Amino acid sequence: MSRILVTDGMDKNAAGVLRKMGHELTEEFFEPDALKQQVKNFDAIIIRSATKLPKEMIDAALETKTLKLIIRAGVGMDNIDVPYGREKGIVVANTPSASSASVAELAIGHMFTLARHIHIANVTMRDGQWNKKQYKGTEIAGKTLGLIGFGRIAKETAKMAHALGMKVVYTNRSGAKQGYDAYTYMPLNELLASADYISLHMPFDKVAGPTISSKQFEMMKDGVFLINCARGGVVDEDALIDALDSGKVAGTGVDVFAEEPTKNIKLCSHPKVSVTPHIGGSTKEAQARIGDEIVSIVEKNIG
């Protein structure tokens, strides 16, 4: 039997399976100072985005050498010092496939919302306004969607967008991908200049900084739509607000932020912004699949 700490919640069915396997689960969120003490007492820890496991947190766990497994219930692992954990003999894993469809659907949802002014119409109608003439939208069919990054989620997004009649182009650090002839590979600068919608699908590189900042906004079409369901930090939020105010960006869908929970009220309250609180993978189906992957990872690594 192993002791497992679940800090940010997990699928109830999967938690039940782990208990039936004989594991002892503690499902509780701890603030950093308290977590430094708690990590010493568990064989495994399962986290989502709210819990951070930097080097100093891993060092605390190493004092007792009890922690053997860290699982990120989701895709991005930028809240974990992955290289350091692995260097110290801790298995660090995530669930990369489980939430792809859910995140892709949210990205497409933000595109529809912006194209038809659904986000702001919800606000103004609740205030008693009837702005029918102001909300002339556009159809997304026939428009060009540029995907920055071409991993699992981007491929799901491409498939959905293509089915909706969009032309899909993409850029990727490793170049064009075989087997995706329905889409067109192009360098980042060309994509920025040609896309009507741009959707980001890559991790945040703390060393390189934002992928999209003032320079990249200048390369884009006037009236472009930008979607970020990837990671906070890949878009410079101040530069984004400037681009919205100038009209360079007609609208943006934002699910992730440089700081979470975000304090950027100016961005969240902007009339051209469709905003959600990091819910890309928050569907019943995705959480069930994530739970299944967690069970498999636990079974493989600690029995």
The residues annotated with a catalytic role in the active site are 231, 259, 278
For residue 278, is it left (φ>0), alpha (ψ between -120 and 50) or beta?
A: left
Closest CA to 224 of 204, 200, 201: 200
Burial 86-115 (b: 16+ CB within 10 A, else e): eebebbbbbbbebbbbbbbbbbbbbbebbb
CB atoms within 10 A of CB 206: 8
Closest CA to 7 of 45, 55, 62: 45
Specify the DSSP element, H or E, that contains 62.
helix 55-62
Q: How far is residue 106 from each of residues 114, 200, 241, measured CA to CA in Å?
A: 12, 12, 21
| E-strand stretches of the chain | 3-6, 24-27, 44-47, 69-72, 91-94, 144-148, 167-171, 184-185, 197-200, 224-228, 249-254, 273-275
Closest CA to 78 of 40, 52, 57: 52
Look up tokens 């499902």; give the residue.
27
Q: Under a CB-based contact definition with an 8 Å cutoff, are residues 45 and 39 in contact?
A: yes
Token digits for 144? 């060009």
Q: Under a CB-based contact definition with an 8 Å cutoff, are residues 215 and 192 in contact?
A: no
Q: Under a CB-based contact definition with an 8 Å cutoff, are residues 254 and 277 in contact?
A: no
Neighbouring residues of 173: CB distance < 8 A, sequence distance ≥ 6: none
